[in-house]
Structure 1
Amino acid sequence: MNTRQEPVDQVGAVSIYAPAPGSTKNYFRLRWEEPDGSRKGTTAGRRIEEARAKATALAIRLSRAASPHAVVSMHDIVEAYLAQGRSPYKNKFVWQQTHMDQLRNSLTRSIEGDENLQAMDITREVLDRMRARGGTDNMVKAYTSALRGLLRWGYQASEHYFSPQQAELLPKGGVRPAPTSPSQVRPYRNTGVRLSGDSIDYISNEDAPDAPLTVSLGDTLQDYFTSWGRLGVEFAANAGARWGEQFQLTAYDIHLDGCTERKFAHVHIDHQINARAKAGSRASRLTLPKGKKRRIVPIAKTSFTGYALREAVRARQTAALAEQEEGTNVDALMFPSVTGLMLWHSSFSDVIRPAMRAVGWPFQEWNDDEGKVHYVHDLVWHSLRHRFARICVDDRNLKPGQLMAIGGWENLDTVNQRYYHSGDDNINGAAEHFED
């Protein structure tokens, strides 16, 4: 005789069973099979309505399963994603260590508290909760980007952790939640007023230091870095190197009389300082430039401030080689610390930020809840790179492709939106259509 109890109802893949005969608790029971084939069961209240509601939620969850691997935890999926080390975009572009570290930081913080959720548990509500763990709008944006990449990879991976529907839960340009526990609110950085018709990312002259600000900062920095202070500022504004690229340069990267590759005066930018590297030799602190793009940048004879740039670079190159001979600058660094070593961004910031405020670079002052004074700088060191771009576009008439090549930007869209799509161009073009 078959004594197996039959379900009293079925909701998707979930079976509902009546309370067992003779049971004193009288709970309904649910039974189902997980995507990996394991059998599961749970109680579901004393009323059939409660049992159906719980069964419905379970059935919806099971319907999100893309494969048997949909039961893998978010923690394990993140680890697998980072271990493969490649972008789900850009033809499987291999990540640099700095990007890997940033990505790990964003993902581990965003899933904190939800790391044991399984792939099929991921919904838009869950993702919003994860994204909102960022303490600022920028952090929420970073978490969103990291999770979007994870979903795409999890769908494309051979394990198919996520379904197509899950992979599309965070479309580009979609809304983002506000931070759950926002950090101390501080003023936004002031930027130049845009002209009607400017791209939203357009960098105008007001977004970069002018000649007087550049000269004054260089003169002040010279008091601290006596061998290169003024040159360091002028070089940044006229060669466009990012901070990490400039401050790892050695005398051997400078080719004012050309080299076997190029005959014009130039600098080779083959590396940048790895912001997350530990103390050690120069070589151990280096990584490839952003986007893994090595490049050659011409060095002008004269800065936009009137400073004799090429002459100063040659003098500093000679001095760096002499310092190497003396043992005070073992790597012949062009812009070393006062002790002849490669600088750290934090220690440099301790010098440059007060110097900027002292010579009139725009900033805002604010106090946190404990009364501690903080500053928001409207123009920062990276603004010198924007000045370089504006010189190239406005004074030297470089085409977008030329600027991208010597500046190391990721793509032409970025260059066009930041430096070429101005309101002036649009207004002048429109005016032509009003002539009789």
Structure 2
Amino acid sequence: MDFGWILIAIIAGLVLWVYVDFMFGRKKHLASAKTNTLPVRESNLAIFAEGPKLFDDLFSELKNAKQHIHILFYIVQDDKISQEFLNILKQKGKDGVEVRLMVDWVGSGLKRKTINSLKAAGVEFAYSQMPKLPFLFYSSQVRNHRKITVIDGNTAYLGGFNIGEEYNNHDPKLSPWRDYHLKMTGEGVSDLQSEFLEDWHAAAKVNLLQNIGYFPALKKGAIRHQIVPTEGILLEEMMSDLISNAKTSIFIGTPYFIPSKRVFNLLRDAIKRGVSVTVLVPLVSDHALVKEASYPYLRTLIKDGAEVYQFLNGFYHAKVLLVDDEVCDVGTANFDKRSMFLNYELNCLIYDDDFIKKIKLILTEDILNSRKAALDDFNRSFLKEKAASTISYFL
């Protein structure tokens, strides 16, 4: 057997292994994924769309922590803004505050030396979603994409921002970075605390959920909302329900528009029944092939009558789904297959008219900083689109 046939056999074996690993890994994932629905809560909310303003507020609250700090990010870089963030955590740890930091195993950019310095200062650290046997490939694809910060059990944050210089408008290609992040006080904070502690239990093998000290009594706030955690399941169903029930309008803001077949068909059905559909995506991309993966969907929607906008003022990374100006979804989940079927995500459904008006002002500003796209803006590139379509599940 010559080298060429040996190479073909090796490649075929790898493809077969990946396929079998993924199929059985997915089956195991679905069997164990959490599917409980959390109740509608009443809290106070604020929204941030700019990294510098978010970090100023977040860092100030962290410095004022008295008892415990629980943080989960998909990405914490090892750069200037990250060191400022980590130095705050180390100082709080030295001051006797309980500090727990969890990052995604794939997403995080922290060096071993940095992690050791955190531990030396009293900060408890854990990697979330480390790949493991027997389904090594599948488990490497299931990422914890959530972003949760809970301070003293009464102040919390969730949304699209991570910790790094690009999120603080210091990336020459992607600045300014546009994203949406929520700050919460009130009874909904307990749900975010529970979600963090469940993920901490899975990652660190330490169960703190029964510790009542992490769940202080919380007053109701003014804004009705519902926290929606998903684990590669339920997100497609949630988006499908929102789109199916739309009567007048749907607004989607996302950096990656790669919907499932079911969700895409429901969007097309909504247009046919007279619902206006608007999609906002970035002009520039931060990952290879994600633009090409979106092109077939966006071309079809434009032909159907949807309006598609491309954001011009930096990079648009926000995740929002607004239906009929009555319910607004803001969180960590992108409008793509990876968020729907693989990642651990965390979203917040908002049912308050006044707060939705605040969000609409931000959306209006972002549309003004965009251009309306035409079919020619998504010219077909057969090879790139074919490659992107083949791996769209993992983009």
Shorter-chain TM-score tier: under 0.3
What TM-score, normalized by structure 1, do the two folds share? 0.25
The structure that has the greater radius of gyration is: 1
Question: Normalized against structure 2, the TM-score is what?
Answer: 0.27
Q: Please state which structure has a larger fraction of its residues in strand.
A: 2
Which one has more relative contact order, counting CA pairs under 8 Å at least 6 apart? 2
